[in-house]
Structure 1
Amino acid sequence: MTAPTTDKADAQRPALGRDFSRLWWSAAVSSLGDGATIAAAPLLASRLTDDPRLIGAASVAFTAPFLLFGIPAGLLVDRIDIRAMMVRVDIGRALLLAVLTAGILGGWGGLPLLYVCMFLLGTGEVLCRNAAQVLVPFITPRAGLSTANARVMAAQEAGTGFIGPLVGALMFGVATALPFGVDAATFLCSAVLISRISRTRPVEAAPERTGVMSEMLAGARWLFSHHLLRSLALVSCLINLAGSAMLAVLVVHSGKVLGLGPFGFGVLLACQAVGAVLASRFAPALTERLGREGALVATAVLITTSETVLAAVPSMYAAGAALAIFACGTVTWNVVVVVLRQTLVPQHLLGRANSVYRLVAWGGLPVGAAAGGFVAAEVGTRAVFGAGAVVMAVVAAGLLVGARRRWITRADPAAQATETD
Structure 2
Amino acid sequence: MHAPVSARLSADFNKLWTAAAVSNVGDGVTMVAGPLLMASITDNPALIAGAVFAQQLPWLLFALISGAFVDRLDRRRLVVAVNLVRAAALTGLTVTVATGTVTIAVIYAVLFLLGIGETLADTAMGALLPAVVPPEKLPSANARLYATFTIGNQFVAKPLGAWLFVVSAAVPFGLDALTFAVAAALLSGIRPVPGPVEPQPRRSLRLDIVEGVRWLWRHRLLRTLALSMGLGNVAFGAAFAVFVLYCRQRLGLSDVEFGFLLTAFAVGGLFGSTIATRATALFGSAALLRAGLVVEVVTHAILAVTTEPWVAATVLVVFSVHAVVWGITVASVRQRAVPSHLRGRVGSVYGLLDLGGAALGSLVGGMLATTWTITTPFWIAAVVMGAVTVLVWRPMGAAAG
TM-score, normalisation: structure 1: 0.91
The answer on whether the counterparts of 1:293 and 1:402 sit within 8 Å (CA) in structure 2 is no
1:6-405 correspondence runs (5 A): 15-404=8-397
CA contact (8 A) 1:61 1:115 kept: yes
Aligned residue for 1:79, secondary structure, equals coil
Q: d(CA) in 1 for partners of 2:389 and 2:306?
A: 22
Task: Name the residue aligned to 1:3.
Answer: none
TM-aligned CA deviation for residue 208 of structure 1: 4.3
In structure 2, distance between residues paired with 1:124 and 1:286: 34
Compared CA separation, residues 134 and 140, structure 1 to 2 (3 A): same
Q: Confirm or deny: 8 A CA contact 2:5 2:141 kept in the other structure.
A: no
Mapped partners of 2:27, 2:264: distance in 1 = 16
**Which is worse superposed, 82-91 or 381-390?**
381-390
Distance across 2 between alignment mates of 1:111 and 1:12: 43
- SS of 1:196's partner is coil
CA deviation after TM superposition for structure 1 residue 230, in Å: 1.8
Q: Distance in 2 between matches of 1:328 and 1:201?
A: 36
How well do the aligned residues superpose, as a CA RMSD in angstroms?
1.9
- Whole-angstrom distance in 1 between the partners of 2:167 and 2:193: 41
In 2 relative to 1, CA 345–205 (structure 1 residues): closer, same or farther, beyond 3 Å? closer
Are the counterparts in 1 of residues 62 and 116 from structure 2 also a CA contact under 8 Å?
A: yes
Higher relative contact order by CA 8 Å / sep ≥ 6: 1 or 2? 2
Mind listing any 5+ residue stretches in structure 1 that lack a counterpart?
1-5, 410-421
Report the Cα offset of residue 277 of structure 1: 1.6
Shift of 1:105: 1.4
Partner residue, 2:400: 408
What is the percent sequence identity of the aligned residues?
36
Structure 1 residue 384: Cα displacement? 1.3
Cα shift at 1:194: 0.6
Per-residue CA deviations over 1:125-147 (Å, capped at 9, x if unaligned) read: 11111111111111111111111
C-alpha spacing 1:294/1:225, structure 2 compared with 1 (3 Å):
same
Q: How many residues align?
A: 401
* Change in CA separation of 1:32 and 1:236 when aligned onto 2, cut-off 3 Å: same
Q: Which residue identity lines up with residue 320 of structure 1 in the other structure?
A: A
Q: CA deviation at 1:169?
A: 0.3
Q: How many angstroms does 1:339 deviate by?
A: 1.4
Normalising by structure 2, report the TM-score: 0.95
SS in 1 for 2:375: helix
The alpha-carbon deviation at position 160 of structure 1 amounts to 2.5
The answer on whether the counterparts of 1:303 and 1:325 sit within 8 Å (CA) in structure 2 is: no
On the 8 A contact 2:220/2:399 being kept in 1, the answer is no
CA shift, 1:30, in A, is 0.3
* 2:93–2:102 CA contact under 8 A, matched in 1: yes
Cα pair distance change 1:23/1:228, threshold 3 Å? same
Q: Please report how far the alpha carbon of residue 246 of structure 1 lies from its aligned counterpart in structure 2 after TM superposition.
A: 2.3
Q: 361-370 or 90-99, which moves further after superposition?
A: 361-370
CA deviations 1:392-416 (Å, max 9, x no partner) are 2223333432354x3224xxxxxxx
Extract unaligned runs of 5+ from structure 2: none
Aligned AA (1:407): A
Please list the CA deviations of residues 74-126 of structure 1 after superposition, one character each: whole Å capped at 9, or x if unmatched: 11110111111111111111110000000111221111000011111111111
Distance 1:343 1:14 in 2: 22
Deviations 1:47-67 (A, max 9, x none): 111100001111000111111
| Post-superposition offset of 1:206 | 4.6
Kept after mapping to 2: 8 A contact 1:304/1:390: yes
Q: Aligned partners of 2:7, 2:32: CA distance in 1, in Å?
A: 35
CA contact (8 A) 1:294 1:403 kept: no
Which letter maps to 2:399? W
Q: Is the 8 A contact 2:224 2:395 kept in 1?
A: no
For residue 195 of structure 1, report the CA deviation from its aligned partner: 0.8
Once residues 272 and 139 of structure 1 are traced to their aligned partners in structure 2, the CA distance between those partners, rounded to angstroms, is 29
Partner SS state of residue 381, structure 1: coil
Task: Give the secondary-structure state (helix, strand or coil) at the position aligned to 1:363.
Answer: helix
Matched AA of 2:116: T
Residues 82 and 117, structure 2, Cα contact 8 Å, conserved in 1: yes
